[in-house]
Amino acid sequence: MSLDLPSTIRRFIGDADLITDKIGESPCAVHEFRRGGERFFLKSSPTAYANTTYSVRREAQVLDWLSGRLHVPEVVATAERDGEAFMITRAVPGRPLATCIAAGLPVSALFGEALRNLQQVSVSNCPFDASVAMRLRELDILLAKNLIDPDHDLDAWPGLDTPAKLVAHLHAHVPHQDRVFSHGDLCGNNVFVDARERLFFIDLGRGGIADRWLDIAFVHRELRDQVAEAKAKTIMAALGEPDQPDKRRYFEQLDELF
């Protein structure tokens, strides 16, 4: 272990080897390690992201609140130092749906179940705001600090060929929101399924109260881009209500710079 870590985090890891986890696109550092035959993950977020949904401190709070409401990682240790946040979680069982997709296995029903599980979480006492207004404030912060995703691709959005134009468009077209609990980044890497077909959710830093079409938009995009357009249409039909392509487009645009 060569990282400079807070003492509480360092003591838990002990002499275990930290293996860099390269999956994911956030600015957070993630390492895997083993202790007593169990797998754990160490995640840290830089100081610059302390007031954003990339914050590991926020994610730890979301995970603690969700414990007993959804299958999520157990938070076993947290620490902060000079604005940098650290969290250790116990690995969830099963394999990510992204692995199932790569193996050619059916995932549409599992994504549909994931949506139902998330939207069944009561938001009556949920303390986490993930609304469009909150995410736009966050995006303004990232843009001002030049911390937006450097790999963003605006080719899909005609007339919105600069980050500033896209952000202005998002501010000008905020949709009416139907409040539910939202994962905020629902994709094949963030949903696991175990041998009993139980679903587990990870990477919940963006979790909170948001429009129900945010997660639906991400599931549609995942099936469209990683499986087939027909599967994406199938899950829309399975919702039992009219599709809202304008909302889906909006939430894809909102995600582009993150």
Is 82 known to be catalytic? no
Which tokens hold the place of 102? Answer: 């790569």
| 3 state DSSP class of 128 | coil
Q: What is the DSSP string of 2-50?
A: -S---HHHHHHHTTPPPEE-----SS-EEEEEEETTEEEEEEEE-GGGT
Residue in 185, 203, 215, 255 annotated catalytic: 185
Distance CA 26, CA 184 (A): 13
Query: Helix 212-226 and helix 229-238: axis angle, to 10°?
Result: 150
| Separation CA 38–CA 44 (nearest Å) | 20
* Residues whose CB falls within 8 Å of the CB of residue 110, separated by 6 or more in sequence, listed in order: 97, 100, 191, 193, 197, 199
Q: Report which of 211, 186, 205 is spatially closest to residue 131, judged by C-alpha positions.
A: 211
Active site positions, annotated? 185
